[in-house]
Structure 1
Amino acid sequence: MWHYQSGGIPESTFARKHDTILYYQKCSHVFNQEGASFPRNICQVCGNTISKWNNLKKQVDENGRIYRTIKSAGKIYKYYDDEPVLLPDVWYDISHIQQKDPQRTGYATQKPEALLDRIIKTSSNEGDLVCDFFGGSGTTAAVAEKLGRRWITCDIGKPASLVMRKRFIDQEVNPFLYQSIGDYQKEAFHNNKKLRRVGDLSQVVLGLFGALPFSPEQVSDRNFGYVKGTRNLVMVDSPNRLTTAATVRRAVEAKASLLGGDWDKVIVLGWNFAFDISQAIEKYKNSNVEVLVIPPDLLDKLSKKGFKKLIADKTVRFSSLQYLVVNPVEVTVNGNGEDELDISLSNYVLLSPDNIPLDDKDKEKLQQVMEQDPLSLIEYWSIDPDYDGDTFRSTWQDYRENVDNDSDPLHCVYSTRLHMPHKAERKVCVKAVDVFGFESQVILDVKC
């Protein structure tokens, strides 16, 4: 149990000033006593020397070790100065994080590093793998890194992911892989029996978009429809998968071939998107393809209101996809034979404010920012100048509030120069996260 003192005095109950630490094991386990012990002559609570202990008479045994004796109930007990005491199962010596503590990240449930330091030292060895599946502010991983442990951490909340990445960058941890996993739309759909009774979800989405389905005799694939009175083809992607470059290619091919082709435009409606979707949009921009976002709260609205009510209300809005635009990389070979890569952001396109849970006043402000200074919405961006197409290894990064690259705490810098060993050609990958947690990725082929 971790006991601490903090502000706040309840009026109708006892003050809750402790957290319970659960300890469990499967098969063999590690328990390092040195990680859970303290010097006998040091107070666990205040850290000061215990005067009562030092007042006891010192004695020296045949090996030169200092010990002291205590008589209790007629028995004499011998205690050595250099023999640590195992901590009790209630810890009083670790304070909660104070308001002005430099390790404070602003994350509500953040724990002090000293607490995780003790837990990790006690229950693992150097080189072991430490996992925290409710990462929060990233304290477990940050401390594991300092103690020479490998680590995996995750959190369902996007704010937690942002806080953790900033923390790891400031700590200058070893290179780490950030991976977005899980499909929340798919989970919501399959866990809701009422939604599954709605019928074919693609047909529902087509109807809410204002499109008509093809008859089975016309097109067997029920993901396709069309906008009445136009030659606009509509394709609804499944909540079971990410909308990727392959999805966009399939839509473009359908535009050219479905029912004889001759469609003016194809519109792709997707739930969740691969990081590189913006590159597919750029690649097929001359094919008259448009990618729109199905509202993330649509499944919830369908569950609460039903299809007919949503059709009548006309409140479902499909919005443009957010994506990053990066200028072509400029390469110069300097006098040392190195490649100097000038990399800069050009634009950031955010999905409609209607798709973000803000009140009307804040949506209006956001719309102004999108029009006047869209790059100010970038919270964090990073670069892998030698991307292998699989694992992203960040070589350079910047984020808002970081003043190492400039003196402005409210904006990222939007350009940088990297010095790299010369290569005839390379792939440069740029990743960005906006203030709402949406992620974008751009891969650029660069010839030097």
Structure 2
Amino acid sequence: MNLSPADRDRIIDLIKNGQTLPKEDLYKLAADEEDVFLFWNGRDEAVTRAVLPFHHIEHIDEPRREATSEGANFSMFDLKGRQRQGWHDKLIWGDNKLILSSLAHGPLREQIEAEGGLKLVYIDPPFAVGADFSHTIEIGGETATKTQSVLEEIAYRDTWQRGISSYLSMMYERLKLIHSLLAEDGSIYVHVGWQVASSVQLLLQDIFGYDNYHNTISWKRSHAHGDAGQGATHYGRITDYIYIFSKSDKFIWNPQYEAYSEKILKRDYKYKDSMGIYRHTPVDGPGGAAKGNPFYDFLGVKGYWRYSKEKMQELYDEGLIVVSSTGKSLSRKKYLKDAKGTPVTDLWDDVNRISPTSTERIGYPTQKPEALLERIIKTSSNEGDLLADFFCGSGTTAAVAAKLNRKWIATDLGRFAVHTTRKRLIGVQRELKEKGQDFRAFELLNLGKYERQFFLAEMSDEQRVSREDTYLNLILEAYKAERLEGHTQLHGRRGGRMVHVGPLDVPVTESRVREVVEECRKLGYTQLDVLGFEFEQGLFPRVTQEVAESHNVRIRPRYIPKDVFDERAVKKGQVKFYDVSYLRASFALNPSPAPASAPEKARAEVTITLEDFVTNYTQDDLPAVESALAKGKSEVIIDGGQIIKVSKNQKGVQDREILTKNWHDWIDYWSVDFDYDSKKEIIRIQNEAGEIEEQWTGNYIFENEWQSFRTKQDRSLEFTTSPRAYLKPGTYRVMVKVVDILGVDTSQLLEVEVK
């Protein structure tokens, strides 16, 4: 440290008196052999090493089985999909910091290394204050806004609560973890806007090293119209920036080319193919005499031709040498198929933004063009390589990777982003299957058991207890439940029902629910309310049914509304807790019509019909909105499982129009696993001795065998599946899963008896 004794004494006194240290003292304290040290308020060199198990929610190995007139539907085997050995692509819902840490330090690291390591990472992190997780819903010619969940709000707050310093702290830890995951020949592309570009570049140089910096791509993403202040206070902002860094000095690089202009093609590329018509006269041949023979002159006399005599003879024999019309120059023929183009520079103005009418557009606000990712992926990876995007958004990186025969990992904290990506990747599978091309299975995961110490580690025990007490008292008061003491997992009682309050900062997981149920069983309680801001995907009603059967504990899961934090609403009793959604499906079982010649004789076939769906989702207070609405204005809200347009005319007369006309309007996607018990969920965890062991969780993985969903271009849905055959008698459990237009999943289990 570059400190004099006087400096040291002065700093000690400042610290003892609880005073802020001047920045120049901080720099002196941090001084070392580095020429430049990047510092910001809140910088912490520590990086989390949390290792949480990945819970397998869903497996999608083929777009969907279809009935055929040849009875092929009865075959249990397919040449593609699950039968393709090796890596299954991974779509993961959760906090990417914990996902990255669990990938870097957990058992899944072995699988990544077995695939050759992570060769390329592209990330498009949020780079503007205000860019939250909310999304719009189109219905009845109107649009409603699904506000972000509490988990998403916490993530947004952690990113921006102190401005750029919070953003840098968020990015620093994630980039450090990405650096540790990259293969030695791997690269990272970080896509940012003008708001944070200069800061992020310094951050990347700090982590990856200046010598491993290669380019700053300037992408002309749009015209400047709509840029507030353009001309008056600044030039029009029409570019994003993409920083390219590698892990080491050895990295994958496949040069890409922009197509030649028509002028250059007409000038230089005159030959369509080896049988095409060409303009210049071919050389007659070597001949015997040197004098007057262009071939001999250029080869033997002028001697500047870059090929050897033998190579020139070979080119001549293949008809690939021409002499100019003047007879004074000799050249190779140029074919259009060999016209690579001009090497791509760091100004990308040839990749257009997605037009409003493009079939590529899926309605996600930050969606990037596939052409942009195609160039990146082709440049910095090869076929079969493993890529990742830890802010996957609409899933463009994964979609393009799948089309280019790359493996992928995609993660996001937003439910809507994960659901959008799932639909998009199923669409890619369908597209590849239609073309007869191979495609790879992918699985939907989320982080399993969350350890509280990873979220509250910075607090003292006293602070932690105080925070937990304040939080529990707040929720229980809003729920009108009395606080319980002396219990481990049970926090309150409401009438004859016990109450468990889920955490604020993570979803309610299956492991948590089972721990609560076990306490109920030991104490003889049979009625339980589980309250949560967010629930692990696929949790209900599967666990509810299993627990009711095995432990005689009736669970009622309920969502905690965000207005629980409004003290006035709590005091007035206006906070509405609402039940998870409900669906009803039925099945029809018929004898199999498979012909006798079918390779596998089916005993029966089943079809599933979706018959009803009820949601109780509430995010707005209808009376409050109506009372605050100005004359001549309208607003679309979501209250009590309805999307409602509230209007007030110039005379102050109010009107309510329910936009969700029937339950169909709520469905965005549904899928079916016809044999839910066919695939056990096996997870790999690290025991106390540091050894990796496999454990069955007691759960099963949802095998996505059939699905129907809406797209931007096609809003229709099917409500009855194609037939699915059963080859053996027995009782089969069928899982039906629905994802509504808000991105929330609901499921139902059916039992089908095949004789």
Deviation at 1:437, TM superposition (A): 0.8
Q: Equivalences for 1:58-207 in 2 at 5 Å?
A: 62=312, 63=315, 81=334, 82=338, 84=340, 85-171=342-428, 172=430, 174=439, 175-181=441-447, 190=456, 197-200=466-469, 201-207=471-477
Q: Is the 8 A contact 1:325 1:442 kept in 2?
A: yes
Specify the alignment match of 1:25 in structure 2: 246
**Contact map agreement 1:326 1:345 (CA 8 A) in 2:** yes
Distance in 2, Cα, partners of 1:52 & 1:244: 68
Question: Which of 550, 556, 562 is equivalent to 1:291?
Answer: 556
In 2, distance between residues paired with 1:209 and 1:326?
32
Query: Shift of residue 129 of structure 1?
Result: 1.1
2:609 counterpart letter in structure 1 = S
Calculate the TM-score normalised by the size of structure 2.
0.47
Partner of 1:312: 571
Task: Say if 2:587 and 2:606, in contact at 8 Å, map to a contact too.
Answer: no
Q: Is the 8 A contact 1:245 1:280 kept in 2?
A: no
How far apart are the structure 2 equivalents of 1:333 and 1:149?
A: 40
- Identity fraction in percent: 26
Matched pairs, number:
414
Q: How far apart are 1:247 and its partner, in Å?
A: 2.6
The aligned amino acid for 1:398 is S
Structure 2: how far apart are the matches of 1:380 and 1:356?
A: 27
CA distance in 2, matches of 1:333, 1:436: 38
Q: In the alignment, does 2:721 pair up with 1:393? A: no
Could you tell me how far 1:399 is from its partner in structure 2? 1.2
- CA 1:166–1:67: 2 relative to 1, 3 Å: farther
| 1:59-106 alpha-carbon deviations (Å, 9 max, x no partner) | 99624566999xxxxxxxx99955844322223332222232222223
Instruction: Please say if 1:277 is aligned against 2:540.
Output: yes
Structure 1 position 379, deviation (Å): 0.7
Distance 1:118 1:317, change over 3 A: same
CA 1:120 to 1:213, structure 2 compared with 1: closer, same or farther past 3 Å? same
Report if aligned partners of 2:361, 2:712 keep a CA contact under 8 Å in 1: no
Cα separation, 1, equivalents of 2:281 and 2:621:
70
**Amino acid of the residue matched to residue 219 of structure 2?**
W
Match of 2:738 in 1: 432
Cα distance per residue 1:9-59 (max 9 Å; x no partner): 7433323233322211113421112xx1356xx22xxx664556569x999
Q: Is the 8 A contact 1:223 1:237 kept in 2?
A: no
Counterpart residue identity of residue 30, structure 1: I
Give the structure, 1 or 2, with the largest relative contact order (CA under 8 Å, sep 6 or more): 2
- Measured after TM superposition, the shift of residue 107 of structure 1 is 2.5
Residue matched to 2:110: none
Q: Say yes or no: does 1:380 pair with 2:669.
A: yes
Report the equivalent of 1:2.
Answer: 219
Number of the residue aligned with 2:500: 235
CA distance in 1, matches of 2:263, 2:625: 53
Offset of residue 128 of structure 1: 0.6
The answer to whether the 8 Å contact 2:500/2:528 transfers is: yes
What secondary structure, in the 3-state scheme, does the structure 2 residue paired with 1:21 have?
strand
- Offset of residue 187 of structure 1: 11
Tell me, yes or no, if structure 1 residue 321 matches structure 2 residue 600: no
Tell me the distance in 2 between the aligned counterparts of 1:341 and 1:156.
36
Q: Deviations over 1:87-145 (max 9, x none)?
A: 22223332222232222223233222222222111111111112122222222222111
Match of 2:529 in 1: 267
Superposed CA deviations along residues 346-400 of structure 1, whole A, max 9, x for unmatched, are 3323234257999566335843879973343111011233441434332221113
Per-residue CA distance 1:278-306 (angstroms, 9 max, x = gap): 134345679683524242536xx64xx66
In terms of mean alpha carbon deviation, does 188-197 or 344-353 score higher? Answer: 188-197
Q: Distance in 2 between matches of 1:374 and 1:187?
A: 42
Aligned to 2:237: 16
Report the TM-score, using the length of structure 1 for normalisation: 0.74
8 Å contact kept, 2:224–2:238: no
Look up the match of 1:211. Answer: 481
In the alignment, the residues of structure 2 paired with residue 417 and residue 121 of structure 1 have an alpha-carbon distance, to the nearest angstrom, of: 38
**Aligned residue in 1 for 2:649:** none
| Residue of structure 1 aligned with 2:257, choices 37, 40, 47 | 37
SS in 1 for 2:246: coil
Q: Tell me which structure has the larger Cα radius of gyration.
A: 2
Residues 324 and 181 (structure 1), Cα distance of their counterparts in 2 relative to 1, 3 Å cut = farther
SS at match of 2:724: strand
- 1:188 Cα deviation after fit: 12
2:397 aligned partner, one-letter code: T
The 3 A distance-change label for structure 1 pair 335 and 443 is same
What are the Cα deviations for residues 244-265 of structure 1, in whole angstroms up to 9, with x where unaligned?
39837954872x763xx5x684
AA of the residue aligned to 2:407: R
Which deviates the most, 172-181 or 188-197? Answer: 188-197
Q: In the alignment, is the contact (CA less than 8 A) between 1:129 and 1:150 conserved in 2? A: yes
CA contact (8 A) 1:268 1:292 kept: yes
The Cα of 1:418 is off from its aligned counterpart by 2.5
Counterpart residue number, 2:607: 342
Q: Is the 8 A contact 2:509 2:539 kept in 1?
A: no
Does the Cα contact within 8 Å between 2:448 and 2:509 map onto a contact in 1? no
- 8 Å Cα contact 1:67/1:79 also seen in 2: yes
Structure 2 residue aligned with 1:418, among 708, 723, 731? 723
Residue 333 of structure 1, aligned match among 583, 592, 598: 592
Give the whole-Å Cα distance in 1 for the aligned partners of 2:712 and 2:736.
18
Further displaced range: 328-337 or 316-325:
328-337
Render the CA deviation track for 1:331-358: whole Å, top value 9, x for unaligned. 5322333342211223323234257999
- Change beyond 3 A, Cα 1:311–1:166: closer
Distance 2:577 2:639 in 1: 18
The partner residue of 2:637 within 350, 362, 379 is 362
Aligned Cα root-mean-square deviation (Å): 4.4
82-91 or 145-154: bigger deviation? 82-91
Q: Distance in 1 between matches of 2:458 and 2:615?
A: 30
The answer to whether the 8 Å contact 2:582/2:614 transfers is yes
